[in-house]
Amino acid sequence: MTAPLKLGIAGLGTVGAGLVRLLTDNREHLTIALGREIVVAAVSARDRSKPRDCDLSKAVWFDDPVALAMSPDIDIFVELIGGDEGPARVAVEAALKAGRHVVTANKALLARHGVALAGLAEESHCALDFEAAVAGGIPIIKTLRESLLGNRIERIYGILNGTCNFILTKMQEESRPFGEVLAEAQRLGYAEADPTFDIGGFDAAHKLAILTSLAFGTEVAFDEIHVEGIEKITQADITAADELGYRIKLLGVALRAPSGGIEARVHPTMVPKHSAIAEVSGVTNCVAVDGDRVGTLLLVGPGAGSEATASAVASDIIDIARGGGVPPFIVPVAHLKPHRRAEIGEHQGAYYVRLSVYDKPGAMAAIAKRMGDRGVSLESIVQRRTKSALPGASGGRGAPGAPATVTLITHETTEEAIRGALEAIESDGNVSEKPQMIRIEAM
Ligand code: HSE
């Protein structure tokens, strides 16, 4: 039997402890399957005295994760510290320079420094594996690196943030306001330490940056992603989407644009209510891949959590135990193409628009004209009376000119056209607030 594979794990939070448990519980099976034992040789964490639900009795303790990363007594440095700078980055760089393989769950680190780290890994002939960095337990990295390598990927998209999906699901199913459901997500421990990372779309964008590189063979380019969060989604949008046959999801989408660039975007998106992706609810994640040979695949599963994320980390360790050998971003760094951004104005698709329109003669006609002037064709228009205008409501039928809610669905158009139309509608003075616009993803 080959010599044991020795791990040094930095970061013993829920994922680190889950990994140690997984390796303990499945030791026999893994040893037989791999022909060698995997041992947790050394560990490092901020607080040594913290009780942890896993057996670390045989591991050497390091106060300094960087010293652990460079230790000659480990084969793989497992980075579970998190953060795109600071100890995580320093330790991963040190490990690679010292010739240690690296397994990490750190999406922010890879989104920011993935290409440079892959270069270091190449120079040292080391592995840099990160299955757990995207969509938790879903094996999407291996799917792209291995199973779909014979395909040209046209589009990759998915629900990449469990917190946002939890919030949008609860808002839809329980008609509860955004702030209240966010507080619940934080109580349940789903949200990042800074929840603006989740609700602002940045966590999903980190993951999309990694997926985009793997799918299209381009350099990782987090700053080239168009990012919008879910803060602006109201109960009115959730209800209108339902009535029109849609659900609202925060999607990360990357595709080959007709102009030849890569369109990469994270934003609230309407998806048909009866599509498979619409059924993905709560904290569950999913990733869909459109390949030219395989067609569309949809992988659904837990996007976070101790055991599921540990499962993904373990799969990278298992790959290395078997000999590894796949470059971090599939092709050698020198062959990664520059990321050429397709501007969001080029985006082509249908749109949902919600307007608060002053209820006066000619207002709708003016709105329709502004759309028509830019070649935007309307598929449906629904006008609802405001509450104060409902018969029997106090104030009778409401003051003439009080705003009514108008929801529109457009046929496919360009983002430039719809933005231009909405700017003109706003400046005409027929609406009482900024128009709401949500992209509809074709599937
Ligand atoms: N905060 C993240 C989420 C955790 O909600 O999906 C996993 O990255």
- pLDDT at residue 246 is higher than 90: yes
- Band of the pLDDT at 394, cuts 50, 70, 90? very low
Q: Is 303 near ligand 1, meaning CB less than 6 Å away?
A: yes
* Residue pLDDT, tens place only, 88-115: 999 999 999 999 999 999 999 999 999 9
| Cα 143 to Cα 310: distance, rounded to the nearest angstrom | 18
Q: 157 - beta bridge partners?
A: 253, 288
| Cα 263 to Cα 361: distance, rounded to the nearest angstrom | 40
Q: What is the pLDDT of residue 359?
A: 87
Q: Which CATH architecture has domain 347-440?
A: 2-Layer Sandwich (3.30)
- pLDDT at residue 390 is higher than 90: no
CA of 32 to the centre of ligand 1 (A): 34
Mean pLDDT of the chain: 94
CA of 6 to the centre of ligand 1 (A): 29
Q: Is 161 near ligand 1, meaning CB less than 6 Å away?
A: yes
- pLDDT at residue 192 is higher than 90: no
Q: Look up residue 230 and give its amino acid.
A: I
* Residue pLDDT, tens place only, 310-334: 999 999 999 999 998 899 999 999 9
Reading the block at residue 352, the tokens are 């949902």
Q: Is 165 near ligand 1, meaning CB less than 6 Å away?
A: no
Task: Among 3.30.360.10, 2.30.40.10, 3.40.50.620, 3.40.50.300, name the CATH number for the domain at 141-304.
Answer: 3.30.360.10
Q: What one-character-per-residue DSSP string does 118-138 give?
A: HHHHHHHT--EE-GGGSSTT-
Residue 289 contacts by C-beta under 8 Å, 6 or more apart in sequence? 140, 143, 144, 148, 153, 155, 156, 215, 296, 297, 299
- Number of neighbouring beta carbons within 10 Å of residue 186: 15
Q: What is the pLDDT of residue 392?
A: 47
Q: What is the pLDDT of residue 401?
A: 62
CA of 16 to the centre of ligand 1 (A): 16
Tokens 């594979």, located at residue: 5
Nearest to 10 by CA among 46, 54, 56, 51: 46
> To test ligand 1's pocket by mutation, which of 130, 163, 207 has the most ligand atoms within 8 angstroms of CB?
163
Query: Would you call 49 helix, strand, or coil by DSSP?
Result: coil
Average pLDDT in the 175-199 region? 88
* Residue pLDDT, tens place only, 267-289: 999 999 999 999 999 999 999 99
- pLDDT at residue 388 is higher than 70: no
Q: Is 306 near ligand 1, meaning CB less than 6 Å away?
A: no
Q: What is the pLDDT of residue 15?
A: 95
Q: What is the pLDDT of residue 416?
A: 98
| Cα 233 to Cα 168: distance, rounded to the nearest angstrom | 9
Q: Is 219 near ligand 1, meaning CB less than 6 Å away?
A: no
- pLDDT at residue 178 is higher than 50: yes
Q: What is the pLDDT of residue 395?
A: 40
Q: Is 14 near ligand 1, meaning CB less than 6 Å away?
A: no
- pLDDT at residue 387 is higher than 70: no
* Residue pLDDT, tens place only, 343-364: 999 999 999 999 999 988 999 9
CA of 283 to the centre of ligand 1 (A): 8
Domain 5-129 matching CATH 3.40.50.2000: the answer reads no
Element (H, E) at 436: strand 436-440
| Cα 226 to Cα 345: distance, rounded to the nearest angstrom | 11
- pLDDT at residue 399 is higher than 70: no
| Separation of CA 173 from chain center | 22
In the chain, the percentage of residues whose pLDDT exceeds 90 is 89
Q: What is the pLDDT of residue 393?
A: 45
- pLDDT at residue 375 is higher than 80: yes
- pLDDT at residue 7 is higher than 80: yes
Name the residue ranges covered by the structural domains of the chain.
5-129, 141-304, 347-440
Domains 141-304 and 347-440 share a fold: no
Nearest to 158 by CA among 294, 310, 269: 269
> To test ligand 1's pocket by mutation, which of 198, 266, 283 has the most ligand atoms within 8 angstroms of CB?
198
Q: Annotated active-site positions, please? A: 207
